[in-house]
Amino acid sequence: MKHIILSFLFFTIISIPAKSQQPAAQKDTFVLVHGAHRIGKRTDAAMQRWRGYGLGQFIHWGLYAIPGGEWNGKQYNGAAEWLRSWGEVRKSAYDSLIYQFNPIKFDATEWAKIAKQMGARYVTFTTKHHDGFCMWPSKYSNFTVAQSPYKKDIVKQVVDAYEKEGIDVYLYFSIMDWHNPDWRYDIKTTEDSIAFDRFKKYTRNQLIELLTRYPTIKGLWFDGTWDKSWVKQAAFADSLETEMRKIHPGIIIGSRFRADENGKRHFDSNGRLMGDYEQGWERKIPNKIEDVHGNDWDCVMTIPENQWGYNKAWKGHIKTPNELIEMLAKCVSLSGNFVLNFGPKGDGSIRKEEADIARQIGDWMKENSEAIYDCGYAGLPKQDWGYFTKKDSANKIYMIVCNVPVSDGLRVDAPKGLTIAKTYPLSDTSLQPTVEEIGNNSYFIHLKHKEHKKPFVIVLETKKEKSYNKYEDAKT
């Protein structure tokens, strides 16, 4: 009997699933020193602002933009910004690209204007990607813009120009650094450990340098944190994060920066989100509200399949403005932000294909951003025609329609107690929507005009009303 009880207990304990997320009310299984330090969402003004952005821009720019995915006339199969890791590329030859870095067409103001017109409310800019090249004149490295023919501080120009346009700036920083000889993928020997200690100091110095040089930035976007060497640094990374937050109160840091003492990333061993928002939605979007477990999140997306830095070839499926607008709508409908990546050329100009896409998204945003900015999950069941969004306090629900059904009639199932008072299109007045009630709190929105070239928004003005069942449920 004793044996049965013991084995029962044993199995109960070990079968507690290491859930990837959990509601705040659930009890913790593990006592952690370097796990999440907050339960639930941040509620301060800085985070509230982040939550309302809706649309952001990502920029990947560095030495890799010069070869643009091509080396000695051959096309690299991977992402252009990973070129240095390709077997065909001699590392020293790649690093010599620094002597070619002189982007004569770089104009941060022009970039910022493109982002502004697109409707982006924040930008994340690569200060240092995996290749280790610093876009600011770091004191702690001799592989920076300062040693290039260009000489000037790029990060400062980006920060100033974007802020002038009213766009919040976040700095991307790769922990993994292929150029620094002290970088390790894992720590196996004493020598590794000594080298990596130097690497940790270098990393801390650079981060404090960035926060000191650019005190107006709103956050840091970390990358290259997945290797064992860094995953083992729970205590160091935790204290560094605390230090950064002290230097810069209100700073926003996602879940990619550090692991807990058991090596768990993004979510600690108790399933709690580490950092201010979930930073795992890269080139993928959650499908339903349950997938985000009540956490803040954003999605970073490339226009081609997986190219962040400039790639001359621009091959494979290139997402269209309509696809991207639909992704934006989907993210916002699930209370996330959508961040679209741009990879400027080696000369500093933004390629025409990207500029055109930005302009078309911007044209759409100009008419429809009311359904994006400061909007989130509306609480209505998803329908196949598109996405509902809603602002917190308003009595309006937005329908972002991306797929018009052949049967006509855009279905809306409102929650009990909520009825539609009025409906109108946000921009295209030719739609002239009419409402047909088809059941208890269920409607079809019919449209006059049916030829659509891009997504459109129908506004539902709602009112609270006592519901009573006019329609009888089936008895089964």
Binding site residues, ligand H76, CB under 6 A? 60, 79, 81-82, 223, 282, 300, 308
Distance (Å, rounded) from C-alpha 214 to C-alpha 204? Answer: 15
Q: Is the dihedral of CA 403, 405, 408, 412 positive or negative?
A: negative
Tokens of residue 239, six digits? 């204290």
Between 167 and 339, name the residue whose CB sits nearer to ligand H76.
339
The size of the chain, in residues, is 476
Distance (Å, rounded) from C-alpha 24 to C-alpha 47? Answer: 19
Between 61 and 387, name the residue whose CB sits nearer to ligand H76.
61
Q: How far is the CB of 176 from ligand H76 (least distance, A)?
A: 9
Whether 336 contacts 292, CB under 8 Å: yes
Q: How far is the CB of 285 from ligand H76 (least distance, A)?
A: 15
Nearest residue to ligand H76, by Cβ distance, number only: 308
Tokens of residue 429, six digits? 């007045």
Between 32 and 300, name the residue whose CB sits nearer to ligand H76.
300
Q: How far is the CB of 254 from ligand H76 (least distance, A)?
A: 11
Q: How far is the CB of 69 from ligand H76 (least distance, A)?
A: 12
Between 60 and 265, name the residue whose CB sits nearer to ligand H76.
60
Whether 301 contacts 269, CB under 8 Å: no
Q: At a CB cut-off of 8 Å and minimum separation 6, what does 205 contact?
A: 139, 140
Between 81 and 354, name the residue whose CB sits nearer to ligand H76.
81
Q: How far is the CB of 341 from ligand H76 (least distance, A)?
A: 8
Q: Which residue has the tokens 């999605």?
A: 299
Q: How far is the CB of 354 from ligand H76 (least distance, A)?
A: 16
Between 82 and 214, name the residue whose CB sits nearer to ligand H76.
82
Q: How far is the CB of 331 from ligand H76 (least distance, A)?
A: 16
Between 28 and 282, name the residue whose CB sits nearer to ligand H76.
282
Distance (Å, rounded) from C-alpha 201 to C-alpha 205? Answer: 6
